[in-house]
Amino acid sequence: MVFSICNEKGGSGKTTFAINLATKLNEQGKCLVIDLDPQKSISAFLSFREEKKMPFDFKNSHSGELQELIKQAKKSYQNIVIDTGGRDSTEMRGAMIYSDICIIPTIPNGLDVVVLSKMLDYLKEAEKINRNLKGVVAITKATTNPFLQYKIGEFQDFIKSKNENDFFLLKNIIFEREALKEAILQGKGIVEAGIKNSKRAKEDFLKVFKELMEVTNE
């Protein structure tokens, strides 16, 4: 299965999502992460890791070689996760087209609404080329403040209003928690051991992962 993580807006949690998804998938079978982000954030993440054993295999790439790289990787890997940069680019569009699942992480606030609308338009274009592509919207970096939970509900309602059966909106949410940041600084996925106060962050992600797998297998 090929997963691409796409959003032209920087800071939406793409790389964190890609890292945690790949780490979990690698528990089930070999997983390759392809980094199309010019900032090479995955490389930086792996450099933080003290353990020699990596949580997944990894390769930097560019759009020109992506299709062939995926073709060859499918021979050795059960899953492939593609991390893209925070801008509209040939790399991002190519990743969407060559994927089975395109995940769009989005932050539940007004500033992200316009960008999300554009991403859903890009998704529709990609689905015209790749008829088997499934789009998934995942709410990330949501506030844990109980007095602001209504904003998440409003954002979910907006996303649902945009849906014409072109994508799935995950019901489960990844909240903004310090443990997620701490895990990245240790070069670890949130499901790995040794991260302080990670219980809630791990529970958030595992709920999202379970739902994502259910959507993937539909």
Q: What is the pLDDT of residues 124-142, one digit of tens each?
A: 999 999 999 999 999 999 9
Q: Could you tell me the CATH superfamily of domain 2-216?
A: P-loop containing nucleotide triphosphate hydrolases (3.40.50.300)
Residues (pLDDT < 50) of the chain are none
Nearest of 215, 208, 111, 209 to residue 165 by alpha carbon: 215
What pLDDT shows up at residue 164?
Answer: 67
SS (H, E, C) 164-203: CCCEEECCCCCECCHHHHHHHHCCCCCCCCCCCCCHHHHH
- Which pLDDT does position 212 carry in this prediction? 97
CB 86 within 8 A of CB 119: no
pLDDT for residue 86: 67
Q: C-alpha 67: how far from its chain's center?
A: 19
pLDDT of residue 63: 63
Residue 43 is predicted with a pLDDT of 86
Q: What is the pLDDT of residue 117?
A: 87
